[in-house]
Amino acid sequence: MSVRERLAIIRSNIDEACHRVGRDNNDVRIIAVTKYVSIERAKEAVVAGVADLGENRDDGLLQKYEAIGKEATWHFIGTLQSRKVKNVIDKIDYLHSLDRLSLAQEIEKRATKPIKCFVQVNVSGEETKHGLSSEQVLPFIEQLRNFTKIEVVGLMTMAPYTDDEQLLRRCFRELKQLQQRVQALHIANAPCTELSMGMSNDYVIAVEEGATFIRIGSALVGEE
C-alpha cells in the first residue's frame, strides 16, 4: 500500500476517535517515523501531506535532513547522547526525549535558537524504557526555569507494547494528569500544551485520551 493510502486510513481512524470523544481532529498532528525506511519513502510521506518527520538516531536524521531539508519539520524521538547534541540540534524543530539535566545543559550550550522539547516520562515504569518517573517530572521542569534554549512544549511517553486497552488508557491518562500539573506551575518556558503519545499499535486510544502528536512508523511508511 502507498503511504497515501495508509495515511487515508490513519486519518479516518483519527477522525472517528476524535468524534467519539468530542475532540477537534485539527488538534492531532501525525509524525511520520521514518527510522526504518529509505529517503525515498520519507519523501513520499512529505508528498502525501505529512511534513512532520521523526528519526531516532543522529546519523539517520542527518541523512534525511540532507536530502529533504526545510520542507519537513524535524522531530528527534530517540535517546539523544549529550555528545551528539551538536550534530543535530540546529536541524531539529522538536526533541521528544528530554530526560536529564545534563542533556538540557548541553542543548543550552549548543543551540542557537530555543528548541521545542517534550520531557519523556516512563509512566509505565518498565525497566527497559527511558524517561523520568512521574514523580521526577515536576522537579525536573522547575530546574529548567532559567534555560533560554529549552521550551517545554509538552510531555512524551511510550506505552508498553500490549493490547491491554485498560493498561494503555491508564498510561495515557497519567501523562495527561502530569501535563495539567506542569501547566499549573505557570512556568514561562514550560507551557506544556502538547502530549506526544501513541504509535502504530495504540494511536487510536492515545487520541481518545488527548494526544496532540502521534508518532507513527510501521503503519504509515512501513518497516523497510
CB of 105 to ligand PLP, least distance (A): 23
> Binding segment for ligand PLP among 5-13, 14-22, 101-109, 210-218 (CB under 6 A)?
210-218
- Contact pick of 60, 154, 210, 217 for ligand PLP (by CB under 6 A): 217
Among the residue ranges 9-17, 20-28, 42-50, 198-206, the one whose residues contact ligand PLP (CB under 6 A):
198-206
Using rule CB under 6 A, residue 78 touches ligand PLP: yes
The distance of closest approach from Cβ of residue 215 to ligand PLP in the complex, given in angstroms and rounded to an integer, is 4
Backbone angles phi, psi at 177, to 5 degrees: -65, -40
From 7-15, 18-26, 144-152, 196-204, give the range in contact with ligand PLP by CB under 6 A.
Answer: 196-204
CB-CB neighbours of 129 under 10 Å? 15
Using the contact rule CB under 6 A, the part of the chain among 80-88, 170-178, 181-189, 216-224 near ligand PLP is 216-224
DSSP the chain: --HHHHHHHHHHHHHHHHHHHT--GGG-EEEEE-TTS-HHHHHHHHHHT--EEEESSHHHHHHHHHHHGGGSEEEE-S---GGGHHHHTTT-SEEEEE--HHHHHHHHHH-SS-EEEEEEB-TT--TT--SB-HHHHHHHHHHTTT-SSEEEEEEE----S---HHHHHHHHHHHHHHHHHHHTT--TT----EEE---TTTHHHHHHTT-SEEEESHHHH---
Under rule CB under 6 A, residue 204 binds ligand PLP: no
- CB-based contacts of 5: which residues, under 8 Å, 6+ apart? none
**216 interacts with ligand PLP by CB under 6 A:** yes
- Tell me which residues in 149-168 interact with ligand PLP (CB under 6 A): 158
Give least dist CB 206 to ligand PLP, A. Answer: 11
What cell does 13 get? 481512524
**Residue 142: CB minimum distance to ligand PLP, A:** 25
Binder of ligand PLP out of 46, 77, 107, 111 (CB under 6 A): 77
Q: Count the residues of the shown chain that bind ligand PLP, applying the rule CB under 6 A.
A: 14
Q: Is 23 in the site for ligand PLP (CB under 6 A)?
A: no
Q: How far is the CB of 161 from ligand PLP (least distance, A)?
A: 8
Query: In the complex, which residues of this chain contact ligand PLP (CB under 6 A)?
Result: 33, 35, 56, 77-78, 158, 199-201, 215-219
